[in-house]
Amino acid sequence: MRSFLVTTAFATVLAACGGTVGQTQTQTTSLETRPPNAEGQAPAFAGQTRAPEVKSNVAYEIQTMAEGLDKPWGLAFLPDGRLLISERPGRLRILATDGKLSEPVAGLPAVDARGQGGLLGLAVDPAFSRTGLIYWAYAEAGAEGANHTAVARGRLTGNGVENVQVIFRQTPSIASTLHYGGRLVFARDGTLFVTLGERSILTGRVQAQRMDGTIGKVVRINADGSVPKDNPFVGKAGVHPEIWSIGHRNILSAALDPKTGKLWEVEHGARGGDELNQAEKGKDYGWPTVTYGEEYSGQPVGDGLTAKAGMEQPVYYWDPVIAPAGLAFHDGKGFPAWKGSALIGGLSSKRVVRLAMKDGKVVGEEHLFTELGERIRDVVVGPDGAVWLATDNAKGRVLKVIPKP
């Protein structure tokens, strides 16, 4: 296990990543003290894993805004401040600004809620004030027990959606109830990124490197489901033109960097190997050829490679894992010490991981809200800078984190 000692110069860099007067940031060794699952693996560069602990010493208050929800999965704000909430069994709710929770929104298609499936990620049309459109990802049943991730959109009216269109379906459809992905992120140019898992089973896993399907990929589509002309593989024979990047395992966290407009994602590894990536146009992120961590059996993944020419290294990885779900970048409003940080929800780790970022690299890690003891499924930042969390329970909650005077 590698330990990273913090020098005075390094501390200065960390302070530049969000430290403010009256809110100190202290640096120590790594938060993670357990040995990695995969013995003998070494990071490709210093700081790629087990970054130094930072403490922002921020005083906050956690408020329960909604409760009794059945495994809330996705959160998305409407322009008027109302909050969309997806429940995995297939219900969409709206939390009004006065705290009233709506009945399930009518008009959504049926979902396949077996295993990890159901109603998943949400997005609001950047031109919502004109179009009224909302978007959602979900597991859709196929023929003979197969299924796949799909994306639909519809016009939100009152407490229903109308003119529902399915604008994307993952291919091929296979018989698995795992690893759907399902986060939706609008780019600045109005195109839509969709994260897609590799369905866990071997039939799907091997397709993360294939170009004739969209399993284990990030895809980029126009808002109506058509293919952007500048996608990296448009016009190439035998390649799905929706593909943006390949070699992904199961992406349950994705967001745009507010400074650069680039897409970041955090994906699940197996036993170890959760990784933070900047998902760039046309690149290969390695799964299952290269990865950190190991199989749940304790055996190597494939040939046990952590690097190979032509395959991207993660910006950061965790071994043991945090089980990431949800990602948001904080602009510092209300929480100046978190400015520029990436906030990542944790399922089995039951926390939010704050990564202090500098020039696209991780320079520090902090664990937040551990007192909740709940699985965190999504993290978003509200218009006023408050941090909103969805807890993954049969009686799940939506929580709001605000500064405490």
Q: Which residues are tagged catalytic? A: 179
- Side-chain half-sphere of 190: how many Cα atoms within 13 Å? 11
Tell me the C-alpha distance between 228 and 321, whole Å. 35
**Three-state SS at 405:** coil
Long-range contacts of 372-376 (CB under 8 A, 24+ apart): 372/62, 372/399, 374/350, 375/325, 375/346, 375/347, 375/348, 375/350, 376/325, 376/326, 376/345, 376/346, 376/347, 376/350, 376/351, 376/352
Tokens of 284: 């290969």
d(CA 90, CA 100): 20
Backbone dihedral region for residue 118 (phi beyond 0: left; psi -120 to 50: alpha; all else: beta): left
Of 109, 381, 223, 113, the residue nearest 389 (C-alpha): 381
The answer to whether the beta carbons of residues 267 and 254 sit under 8 Å apart is no
* β-bridge partners, 396: 69
